[in-house]
Structure formats: structure tokens, C-alpha cells
Structure 1
């Protein structure tokens, strides 16, 4: 048994958060002592296991600012993580700058889970921004290399890791995110999840962020709507995380609603924010196809969730989905263009229930064979055990 503390900057409801919550559940099931330390935890905007007592969560340092007059968000995130790092930690998540402090103040062995290099998540549009980011980027590379073990969420991210951190002689190990499949097998009433059982329902689940390319789903849906016979009824449900603390979430939802109005799709497109686990499961069980629009996605847990719920997936043909979705078998991989997505969506409509069942069964089989919670738990347990015995050369 190992005492494991997860250190995460903001324990909300994103894909990265789902991964570490599942990692905590996996290790707890293997009799390890699990604790979470985070700089922010909102009981109204988090996964159920982090607020119902299943996992022990402590929030520290939330009094520290998230930004300075709308700027210096990376610097503030680093300072909040350093403050939280005064606790005993084994698994550090997303931000690596606290690792040398942990090594200096404790005998903890450090596993760093790199979802994606932080320096690639922001632009360098101005000289001032480049000067500001230069020391932060250097710190990220140096402190990432200080971890005893580095994990990444996909082969795609492993390649990006090597291309970004050129000075590091580190071989990260791929630990694919997984599903706590027990959560997806509970009994849930599916009534009232969608308006009309005779309608083909397309579903998009993502945070309301511009990088998720949600307009692609709306524009592709518009093309399909124009091309289909009048008797065919289709609907698009755009659902996902929406945080009122995040200006982009507010602005982008308005932008998406404007696109819908301009395309005269208000009667066919529905927006839903901050789904509960039950609501999300209802949609995954009752809709007909998932649209997954982000490009360069590090992994993408939503396609896995959809395939487990026997839902075909239409995703962009790059990044993590190339490792999860099998083209023409569990769904379709397409160029990030409305016409390409619309063509695949038309195939789903024309294929009807038979195609949905065929692809749905193939998708569930793929998840069980490659991304099962048991395999994830076993591999993570092995990594933690190895790390607890690690002796740096």
C-alpha cells in the first residue's frame, strides 16, 4: 500500500479532471490511500466522486489570484500550484513547477502526468508575451525532467513531448485514460432525454471553448439539414462544461447561439450547459451519433464514453481520436471541414438503426479491449509501485 496524493490546479469537470479522478478511484480500489490537493474545488462544478466523500479532496490556496487584471494567468497558476505543493504529493498533474519544491521538502517520489506541454496552450503574439513566457517555458521543461516518472495520455502527446522538450532525456510512458465503466452501467431512465424518438439526434459534448471548434458541428449540421429530404428529421444537441468564472465560456456560447440564429437552425439546435452525470449518460444512451470536433486533441475521453455507450463517433482525423476511433468501423474520421463532417453525418442518417447498432457494438468492444478500467487500474498500480521503489541515478 502506498500513500498517494494527487496535486491538480483546478478540480473541475474537464477531460483532464476526469482522468485524475478515475486514476484516484483505480488506486483506491487497489487499497492505496488516496488524497487530492487542489487550488480550486467548486462543489457545484465538479465530478460527483470529489464531493460525495468517495475521494478525499482538500482545496488550498484558492485565495491566491487566478490572474492579474486579466493577464499573467500562467504565472498565477504556477504560484497557486507551488503553494499547494507544500503538501506531500506523489502524482502531480498538469503543472510541473512544484516538483523541485516537493523533492526539496519531502522524500516523496514524483510521478508527473503530462496531459500536454503547457507552453503549447498559449500564443506568442507579441514581444512582451514572448518575454513573459520565456522563463515560464524554461521552468516547465526543467521541472518536468525532475520527476521520477513522466506519464502522457497518448502516443500523439508522447510525440509532442519529445518535439517540445528537446533538452530532456526522458522517455514518457503512455497511460491511456480510461472509463470507470461501472458508472456507465447504472440504471438510468432514458425518457425525455431527446424530444422525438423518430428524430436522428446528433450530440456534441465539449467545454464551451473556441479551441473545441464547436462551429464545425453546427455548420456541418446545417449542410446535412439542407441536403436531406423534408421527411427526415434531425437534431443537434450541443452540451458541455460552462464556467461563469471563465469569460471565454460566456462569450463563446453567445457566438454559437448567433451562428445558429444566422443559419435559421433555432428549431433544430439545443444548447445544454453543465450536464450532471445522469443527464450526460441519458444523452449518450439515447442519441444516435457523437460529433467530436477538436483538432489536435491530446486524447479525448468523450469518444471513449460514447463508444462504450454504443454510439458511433464522427471525429477529426488527427490527434488522440486517431488512436481511439476506427474509421468506418466504430465511426468516421474526417477532415475538420463542414462538408467532410456532413458527408459522414449523412451516412449515419441513411444507415439508420442498423448502422448505429453495427458501429455501436464495434465501439463498445474496442473500449473493453483497449481502454477498460481494469487494464488502466493494473497499469497505474504497477507504475505507482515502481515509483515508490525508485532510486534516481
Structure 2
């Protein structure tokens, strides 16, 4: 039996966390022993699979700060993960064969200090240094050593896999010193069983009579460009007849953590924007929704609006297509690989005009959802099945143990 430990910074309910949980479940299905180690885990704010005793979660180091007076988030994240790795190697007494590490590579040197050096697989969702802006000289000076550390420590992994061809290209551009490192693409997958059970009705979330329901699912973060969904909805109002507009509604469902100041602030910013656009009665804001609510929304919505630009992959479009819900996404990054333009949805410029034009197609042709929905389901089954993901990941793990 291969023993695999997953190291992840914060086991919440984002896309990266979804992949880690799916990867752990996948390896367990192939007979591996798995554990997830993390610096933060809240049983009331997590994916349901992590509540099972078959998928043990070990949380250490949550007493360490996530920031210093609202600053130094990256440094704190690195220190927290280094502590988790140190605890695992020197204090836990755990026996394992392979470590699956993602997001934060700074812990890899510690992992290599184990008495019988274990193999490390690093899953690169996207280079961390590209996820933050450096408007000031002070910020650039602060990030310079952290960026260098990211490159050096990523190169210390025994194997590096990425979530898309797009990320593979960005990886090579961002880490020129790692030009000799091979990056294999391992697309995120879906645990289909999580979407195939009994589906609840979304009536409680959408006013009666609103049959054209557009859905945005993303964390309440500014980089996700969530205002685009609201602005596109306002633009749609000018493109359709009043009787059609009366049947339109938008649900803004987002990952929300009260510990994260940006989540709190951006949620209020979006509500204020909806008010300024005169959309108060056309939008439902939902925070930290449950798995059941997400499945119900995906099954019951007309279309998903996926607004981030240059998203490294984005699991939401795949989830939507599996539930036969078409996707309108920005024509950059991962959606170029997951969404088939004019077949399973539309790939658009990140403008209200472009998004609203695509939304109009669904309002004008109610049968379009069904046609694109069936095509989307077939695409997910072909390219993003859990079986394909499991086989690829299991082979990576096995090759590291030989």
C-alpha cells in the first residue's frame, strides 16, 4: 500500500482545495493510504468528503498568523507551511512514501530533510508570484526574495505537474531557471457522484417567475472580476424585451471567509454596485454556500457566467458543463481548454457588451440551454472524468515510489 500525505495551506472550499480533496479520494480508491495536512481547517467550512473518517485531516500551525497588521500574507503563508512540513517530518511520527504538495513550494526543502528522503510531487495551480500586484517599490523589494525562493524550491520537487497547457506555458516563462524541469499536464476532474444525487429546488434562492437564471460562482475576490457579471446583467436589460427581462435573475454565489478582509469588503462593494445599477431585485447574493446548494444552482440555472481573465484553469466551467449548464467565460486562460466556443458555451471578451450579447442568446432561444448542455456533458465525460484523472495521478505516484 502506497502511503501519500497531502500538504495544503488552507483547506477551505476553493478550486485548489477541490482538486486536493478529489486527488485524495482518487488515490484512496486505488488502495492508497491518504492523509491531508493543513495549517487551517474548519469542519463547518469545508468539502463534505473531508468529514469522513476515511479521509483524515490533520491541522497544525493554525496559531501562526496569516498576516501582520494586514500585511505580509505571502510570508506568513510560507512560514505556516514550513511549520506544517517540519511538524510532519520531525514531530508526527507518521510513515509515508510520497508527499503531494501544492500552492506553497517553500516547504519542500524541509520535506527533503526526512531521514529516508521521500519523494515530493508538486502540483502547480499557477505561479504564486503572478497572483499579486507590485505597485510600490516597497512591495517589489518585499516580493523579490519570496519570488526567488518560490522558483528555487519548486525546482526541488521530484515531479511537477500543472493544471493546464496554459499554466505549463506560464510556468516556463515565469521560472526561466527551471527550463529543464518537465511539467506534465494533469487536468482537474470531477467526482461525478457529488453531482448525480438528489437535486434540491432553487426556488428559495430565486423569486418566482424568474426562469432565466444566470449564475456566477467564484470567491469574493477582486481578481475574479465579479463586477463584470453585474455590469453584463445591466447591459442585458437594454438588449431584451421587457417581458423577457421580467424573467431574468442573477445569483452571485461566492466563497466567503470572514477572516479574509478582501472577502468582506468585496462583498459589500458588489452589493453597492448592484444598487447603483438598479439591480437590487434582480440579484441574489449567496455566501459560503453548501455543496447541495451549489449542485442545485448548477442544475437549475440557465447559464454560468465565469468572469476571471487568465484563470489558470477554473473548475467551475467543468462542473457546470457536467450538470448540462452552458458557460459564458472570458476567452483567455483555462476556459480556452475547457469550454468549446459556440458548442458548450461562449468565450467572450471581458466586457459587459460581449457577455450580455452571449446572455441574450439564451433568453431569445430557450432551447439553447438544452443543446449546449448536452454537448457540455459529453465534453466533460470525454476529457475531465475522475477515472482519467485517477489513472494519471496514480501512475505519477507509483513512478515516484520505484
Question: Structure 1-normalised TM-score?
Answer: 0.97
CA contact (8 A) 1:110 1:148 kept: yes
Alignment of 1:43-82 (within 5 A): 43-82=43-82
- Does residue 46 of structure 2 align to residue 26 of structure 1? no
CA contact (8 A) 2:200 2:293 kept: no
**Aligned-pair CA distance for 1:216:** 0.4
CA shift digits 1:205-249 (9 cap, x unpaired) = 000110110110101111112221111120001001110001111
Alignment of 1:1-393 (within 5 A): 1-86=1-86, 87-88=88-89, 90-106=99-115, 107-168=117-178, 169-190=180-201, 192=203, 194-196=206-208, 199-232=211-244, 233-352=247-366, 354-389=367-402
1:275/1:347 Cα in 2 relative to 1: closer, same or farther (>3 Å)?
Answer: same
CA contact (8 A) 2:202 2:297 kept: no
1:197/1:362 Cα in 2 relative to 1: closer, same or farther (>3 Å)?
Answer: farther
Return 5+ residue gaps in structure 1 as ranges.
Answer: none
**Aligned-pair CA distance for 1:45:** 1.2
**Aligned-pair CA distance for 1:298:** 0.5
CA shift digits 1:130-159 (9 cap, x unpaired) = 221111111110110010000110000000
CA shift digits 1:14-59 (9 cap, x unpaired) = 0000001000000000000000000000111111111232411000
Return 5+ residue gaps in structure 2 as ranges.
Answer: 90-97
Distance 1:365 1:199 in 2: 25
User: Equivalent residue of 1:254, what SS?
Assistant: helix
**Aligned-pair CA distance for 1:360:** 0.2
CA contact (8 A) 1:35 1:57 kept: yes
CA contact (8 A) 1:50 1:56 kept: yes
Distance 1:100 1:126 in 2: 30
**Aligned-pair CA distance for 1:351:** 1.3
**Aligned-pair CA distance for 1:341:** 0.2
User: Equivalent residue of 1:105, what SS?
Assistant: coil
Distance 1:102 1:372 in 2: 31
How large is the RMSD of aligned CA atoms in angstroms?
1.1
Distance 2:295 2:225 in 1: 23
CA contact (8 A) 1:240 1:275 kept: yes
Distance 2:200 2:228 in 1: 31
Distance 2:187 2:369 in 1: 26
Distance 2:392 2:231 in 1: 41
Distance 2:378 2:32 in 1: 30
CA shift digits 1:172-193 (9 cap, x unpaired) = 1110000000111111232625
CA contact (8 A) 1:190 1:285 kept: no
CA contact (8 A) 2:228 2:307 kept: yes
CA contact (8 A) 2:213 2:250 kept: yes
246-255 vs 48-57, which moves further: 48-57
